[in-house]
Amino acid sequence: MNVLECKNLVKVYGKVVAVKNVSLGIGRGETKVIFGPSGSGKSTLLRCLGLLEKPTSGNIYFNNVDVYATKQDLNKLRAKIGFVFQEPSLFRHLTALRNVMLGLKHVLGYSEEESRSKAMEALRLVKMEDWANYYPAQLSGGQQQRVGIARAIAMDPEIILFDEPTAALDVELKWEVISVMKDLADRGITMLIATHELRFAKEVADEMIFMDQGEIIEIGDAEQFFTSPTTERARRFMAKLLG
Amino acid sequence: MLFLLDFSDFLLNGFLTTLQVTLVGVGLGIILGILAALGDIYGGKIVKIIVNVYVEFFRGSPLIAQLFLIYFTLPVLTGLKLDVITVGYLTLALNSGAYQKGYLKGAMEAVFKDQFLAALSLGLPLRKILMYVVVPQSLRIVIPAWSNELASMAKSTTALIVIGVREFLNTGVSITAQTFKPLETYLFITIVYFIWIYSMLKILDIIYNRVKIPGLEPVI
């Protein structure tokens, strides 16, 4: 069964068609990777799947229920879909711990103590427990991103969407975020990751999805993309990325 | 200047009126400013138009004209009999709110687009996003701008003299009329204004440094 799925999803901004007719599903426990040139619609697709933007047309299913057709409470569903952004979007007036606690306390309704212990558990998972009382501005980009992952994990979501979580980081900070994501994949957490880190993708992806100009061009396993992509566009893009 | 001691109660009352009008004006102005800023950012088209007409009107016309306008027209329009001090509160609040909306909107917009989305993704409803994410940060960021607003409002209260509010400057006018000693009287009054405003700014400075959070520097 798919946790999250979209059918014929289209998103148009003004005259720009950002996502063209995309259908895609992520099953429980799966890790799928989306990649493709910037501007290929990955972010928009993820935001639609995360219910942060309403698609222009098409359907989104959460646990096989059509979200918009059956007028689901979006906030309830958003709490079950974790989202990690490209920019570490931490709340700047709150410590790392408080960032993670906010949703636990004010969305899921846990008490102060319960929220605190659950948040600490999530911070331990991303190895940030020693930084719990630091403010975002006192942390490096990689550390902020790990807190962002902890904030998503703590909500115990059914799936986590990652929108190029390492794209804004220096090379030496990327590995710490990647290793956290690998860890999550090993734990069987359902994930959809947009990334350009192909070596990482090869290790974790059950399936890789190549997007260009708002469309899915090719779907396959990592092996296929690394050795013999079937489409010309994927072949060219792989060549560019792998140098 | 010792003759002023004979008027100490009178002066004190005038000063307290000025203090009260300033704080109420800025205080109500904060609330109006927050509402107007939120309305302008998150409201629909009609709300945005109302907010902008309000803001432009109060920023683009003289305070004394606004005082007269409200003093003479509001009782006619509403049938309520307003005393001068209420007119003072109301006008200063509307005036201050129009300026504060600008500071607050800048603070809210500049930093919060990505955080807004992050809060949304956690499943927080709009009301809670504003309460726990947007407003606490904007209030901190806007404190230095408030210093200016408070100083400017403290000085603007002297305009209330035109509708006959017995504020601090007005007490000076009365004393001068009785004693014919304008030099000492106005010197005293001006110095008191200065000391008061200066210490208010210092206090706000201390508050700002207390609630300051690393990485949340003012944007204005």
* Fold adopted by A25-53+73-80+157-243: Rossmann fold (3.40.50)
Of B168, B166, B160, nearest in space to B70 by CA? B160
CB contact under 8 Å between B140 and A92, yes or no, is no
CA contacts within 13 A on the Cβ side of A36: 24
Task: Tell me if B90 sits within 8 A of B78, measured CB to CB.
Answer: no
Quote the minimal CA–CA distance from B127 to chain A in Å.
11
Q: What is the pLDDT of residue B220?
A: 45
Report whether pLDDT(A203) > 70. yes
Token pair 């209420």 is found at B86
CB contact under 8 Å between A92 and B136, yes or no, is no
CB contact under 8 Å between B214 and A137, yes or no, is yes
Strand partners, A66: A61
Which residue positions in chain B have pLDDT lower than 70?
110-111, 217-220
Total tally of structural domains belonging to chain B:
1
Which structural domain range is residue B149 located in?
Answer: 2-211
pLDDT in tens, A219-233: 999 888 988 889 999
Q: Could you write out the DSSP letters of every residue in A80-142?
A: TEEEE-SS----TTS-HHHHHHHHHHHTS---HHHHHHHHHHHHHHTT-GGGTT--GGGS-HH
What is the distance between the alpha carbons of residues A97 and A134, in angstroms, rounded to a whole number? 8
Residue of A nearest to B136 (CA): A93
Quote the minimal CA–CA distance from B136 to chain A in Å.
8
CA dihedral A192, A198, A199, A200 (to 10 degrees): -20
Q: What is the pLDDT of residue B218?
A: 59
Domain extents in chain A: 25-53+73-80+157-243, 91-156
SS3 A196: coil
| A177 pLDDT tier (thresholds 50, 70, 90) | very high
| Structural element, H or E, at residue A24 | strand A16-27
ipTM of the shown complex:
0.93
Closest CB from B115, B121, B128 relative to A91? B115
Q: Which of residues 102-141 of B touch A (CB under 8 A)?
A: 111, 114-115, 117-125, 128, 132-133, 136-137, 140
Closest CB from B120, B133, B215 relative to A137? B215
Pairing of strands A159-163, A81-84: parallel
Of A15, A18, A71, nearest in space to A47 by CA? A18
CA dihedral B57, B63, B64, B66 (to 10 degrees): 30
Q: What is the pLDDT of residue A228?
A: 87
pLDDT in tens, A138-161: 999 999 999 999 999 999 999 999
Q: What is the pLDDT of residue B139?
A: 83
pLDDT in tens, A17-73: 999 999 999 999 999 999 999 889 999 999 999 999 999 999 999 999 999 999 999
What is the distance between the alpha carbons of residues A124 and A241, in angstroms, rounded to a whole number? 33
| A173 pLDDT tier (thresholds 50, 70, 90) | confident
What is the distance between the alpha carbons of residues B33 and B192, in angstroms, rounded to a whole number? 29
Token pair for residue A143? 């550390």
pLDDT in tens, A59-106: 999 999 999 999 999 999 999 999 999 988 999 999 999 999 999 999
B114: which chain A residues are within 8 Å (Cβ-Cβ)? 85, 87, 89
A82: which chain B residues are within 8 Å (Cβ-Cβ)? 121
Q: What is the pLDDT of residue B110?
A: 63
Quote the minimal CA–CA distance from B125 to chain A in Å.
6
Give the list of residues 6+ apart from residue A205 with CB closer than 8 angstroms, or none. A31, A32, A33, A193, A221, A222
- Provide the CATH number for the domain around residue B113: 1.10.3720.10
B138: which chain A residues are within 8 Å (Cβ-Cβ)? none
CB contact under 8 Å between A102 and B125, yes or no, is no
CB neighbours (10 Å) of residue B28?
17
The whole-angstrom distance between residue B90's C-alpha and the CA centroid of its chain comes to: 11
Task: Tell me whether residue B108 is in a domain.
Answer: yes
Quote the minimal CA–CA distance from B50 to chain A in Å.
27
Token pair for residue B180? 């014919």
Residue of A nearest to B127 (CA): A106
A151: which chain B residues are within 8 Å (Cβ-Cβ)? 118, 122
Q: What is the pLDDT of residue A201?
A: 92
What is the distance between the alpha carbons of residues A117 and A100, in angstroms, rounded to a whole number? 10
Q: Does B218 touch chain A (CB under 8 A)?
A: no
Token pair for residue B2? 């010792």
CA angle A99, B127, A165 (to 5 degrees): 35
Q: What is the pLDDT of residue B1?
A: 77
Closest CB from B123, B137, B215 relative to A78? B123
Q: Does B208 touch chain A (CB under 8 A)?
A: no
